[in-house]
Amino acid sequence: TLIIGVSLIGYLVLIWWWDYPPLIDWPNHMARHYIEGLAISGQAPPAGYELKYALMPNLGGDLVVPLLLQVFSLATASKIFLSLSLLIYWAGASCFFAAQTGERRSAIAVAALYLPFLISSSFLWGFLNYYSSVGLAFLAMANYIRLYERPRAGIGQLVLQAAFICLLYLWHLAGFGIYAVLHASHLLWHIVQAKRAGANTHHILQ
């Protein structure tokens, strides 16, 4: 647990140490978010720009950063989103490990072993919508596993799962696809286990 805490703090220090973290494509995203922030605050966008929103994928940062810009400076809002993306990327996989293992110490050990992979190529390229969607996909899958293991879960957890799926679609289509693959794999595993136990097809479908 100490290794995890120190490592995550070290990653956050790397993000906040630089005035502008050297991520290749991220400045282009922030330019778009800056214009969106102007529109939200009631200011006219620069000449030649027009904002049109639609229910479509790849809106992750667009849902968060313009709101942060109403409170923080451009650089600070950027670093907050980078920090949240990194923490979600780690937390998503770690919660999935915990849901799969069911054993606290094993889950912590695997979460610690996952730490060196947080600064991936997608992070360095600045593809933050995709990068953070991976963490969200694993968080959604961890919540689904809890629902699977407790069929009589409360309405709140069902609403949370529906919100996860809708958010994943809007956040980034790759994250939505990762969740679909994980979900399909879990269902296939359930079918194989049920078949081995001698259950008939009708019972499995129920």
Tell me how crowded residue 168 is: count the other CB atoms within 10 A of its CB: 24
Q: What is the pLDDT of residues 16-69, one digit of tens each?
A: 998 889 899 999 999 999 999 999 999 988 888 888 888 889 999 999 999 999
Instruction: Tell me the longest C-alpha to C-alpha distance in the chain.
Output: 68
User: Quick check: pTM over 0.85?
Assistant: yes
The tens digit of pLDDT for each residue in 134-165 reads 999 999 999 998 888 876 777 888 888 999 99
Overall average pLDDT of the 159-173 stretch: 94
Return the structure tokens found at 192: 């194989």
State in Å, rounded, how far the first CA of the chain is from the last one: 41
DSSP string, 131-198: HHHHHHHHHHHHHHHHHHH-TT--HHHHHHHHHHHHHHHHH-HHHHHHHHHHHHHHHHHHHHHHHHTT
Nearest to 82 by CA among 41, 34, 22, 151: 22
